[in-house]
Amino acid sequence: MSVDKKLAGAVAFHNSIAGKWDGHYQAQTFRSRLNFLRSALSVADLHGRQWLDAGCGSGALSRWLAESGAEVIGVDAAPTMVQCAAELAVATPATRGIRFEIANVNSLPFPDAEFDGVVCSSVLEYVSAPHKLVDELSRVLRPGGILVISVPNAWSVERMLLRESFRVTGLIGSARPGYMRYSRHQFSAREFVHLLSSHGFVTEQTAVVGSKVPGWLGSRRAVGRLLMFRACKAKG
């Protein structure tokens, strides 16, 4: 399996932290991703439907989709993440049927129009060409299919502070947080809605998530680290 050079570093980094990854969902910044799925997807969107978790990590979102009635395939380029996802999924009957595979999200091993829905959480920031990944996700979605996707928020003060922390800690030792070395892209909501539109998607819901700061302390647009979108692939 080939992986572009920019993505390769991110894959190695996530392999190194795979055993700790699922624990992140105990924190509000990660739980907010699940909360968005709960608000954005209905029983009709999920029950008996074919869903892909593209860049599944340790499978937390895959497991939620399966528990909600979807038939799920999870793929990730990090082999250790896929192994962790498979081990966690066998713990309960509702998630044992999830199929996990090692795969490059830029070139998915599935036919055109294979899925009713795709989740792609915190992946676009690492790839070399986000527009090409959106095109690939569109390819595997059926007309009328649902895309739930997240990208870093370009307006986020928290993200700006994290980037500055990475720069300063890099000058005095080991740069932290480590993922900032590989996080290449960020978007405003308007920019990403335009990108989705250019690939045949109609944005139906947008949210700013992933903040440690209560929303009442400032503009939510400038607080949350992530933007999340529910979009529908045009039928024709």
Contact 100, 59 (CB under 8 A): yes
Domain total for the chain? 1
User: What percent of the chain is helix, strand and coil (3-state, nearest 5)?
Assistant: 45, 20, 35
Per-residue pLDDT, 167: 80
CATH of the domain at 155: 3.40.50.150
Mean pLDDT, to the nearest integer, of 62-91?
97
pLDDT confidence bin for 5, thresholds 50/70/90? low
pLDDT confidence bin for 1, thresholds 50/70/90? very low
Is the pLDDT assigned to residue 68 strictly greater than 60? yes
- Token pair, residue 171, equals 């000058």
Alpha helices in the chain (DSSP H): 5-16, 18-21, 28-40, 43-46, 60-67, 79-89, 130-140, 157-172, 189-198
- For the chain, the average pLDDT equals 89
Q: Does 222 or 70 have the greater pLDDT score?
A: 70
Mean pLDDT, to the nearest integer, of 91-105?
95
Contact 140, 52 (CB under 8 A): yes
pLDDT confidence bin for 214, thresholds 50/70/90? low
pLDDT confidence bin for 175, thresholds 50/70/90? confident
Domain hosting residue 190, numbered range:
5-233
Is the pLDDT assigned to residue 215 strictly greater than 50? no
Mean pLDDT, to the nearest integer, of 181-201?
94
